[in-house]
Amino acid sequence: MKNTLQLLASFCLVAFMVSPALAQKSKNIKSINEAHVVYKMSAEGGMAAALEGSTMNIYFKPDRVKLLANLMSGLVQMDIRIDNKAKKGVMLMDMMGQKKVVEMASEDLNKPKTNTKPSEEDIKYLNKYKKIAGYKCQEVQINMQGMDEPATVYITEKIQPQNMGEVSMMQFTGLKGFPLMWKIEQQGMEITMEAVEVSTTKLPKDAFDMSIPEGYEKMEMDDLKNMGGFGL
């Protein structure tokens, strides 16, 4: 069970890394910088099978982003919220009833992670396209540190979150678009996250509320690192 939790935690963090911070605003493209994207996961092979049917919601607007992950039929839930303007964040985790919270300060969000960030040589744009959630997406192959096979990512340039690139925990900066699908293969396991809905309705301010609900035990960032699997 511990290894399974590490696997899903690692994947979710990768999911967060390859999300809003990726986009860098392109010229001459009318782009979306505020949206709610709903993803559904398919998984097979070994421990990954436990993640089949998991869901993830990403909300973003200029300077703010939120990720909600519901994994293993609700046994594990993650709620990550980042305020890039204030340079702070909060990570809420409910793992089979064990509720933990990590408060992230600017030093946690902006520590350099050059050892895991892919270089330009690790990113390959292919002349392959796929329509996902109503958007034409281009296939990108990304060589990731510690992974035997490259990650396959499908991006759209029509979605371009702004001012997220400074949040260094999101390591996949530099891509020219926002990912609506990605697939990771490792040690016989295959996990795919694909967008099933993109809503561009204006998000309410309280969607990014940073307050911590009752019942959560505080955990330090170092304790989170020692859990393994988070890549922090």
198 in Cβ contact with 180 (< 8 Å): yes
The answer, yes or no, to whether residue 2 has pLDDT greater than 80, is no
Cα separation, 94 vs 75, in Å, equals 8
Range among 113-127, 154-168, 199-213, 214-228 with highest mean pLDDT value: 199-213
Closest CA to 12 of 79, 60, 103, 105: 79
Tell me phi and psi for residue 122, to 5 degrees: -85, -10
Q: Give me the residue spans of the domains in the chain.
A: 2-212
Structure tokens at 30: 């009318």
Count of CA atoms in the C-beta half-sphere (13 A) of 216: 20
- Sheet of strand 55-61: strand arrangement: 123-132, 135-142, 151-156, 178-186, 189-199, 35-44, 55-61, 64-71, 76-83, 88-95, 98-104, 217-218
Distances (CA, A) of 27 to 24, 160, 180: 10, 11, 21
C-alpha 60/C-alpha 36 separation (Å) is 7
pLDDT digits (tens, 9 = 90+) for 32-88: 889 999 999 998 888 788 888 899 998 988 888 888 989 888 888 989 898 888 888
The CATH fold assigned to 2-212 is: outer membrane lipoprotein receptor (LolB), chain A (2.50.20)
Whole-number CA gyration radius for the chain: 17
Residues 6 or more apart in contact with residue 29 via CB below 8 angstroms: 157, 158, 160
Q: What is the pLDDT of residue 166?
A: 42
Condensed to tens digits (0 to 9), the pLDDT of residues 74-126 reads 888 989 898 888 888 898 999 888 899 998 877 666 655 444 566 777 889 99
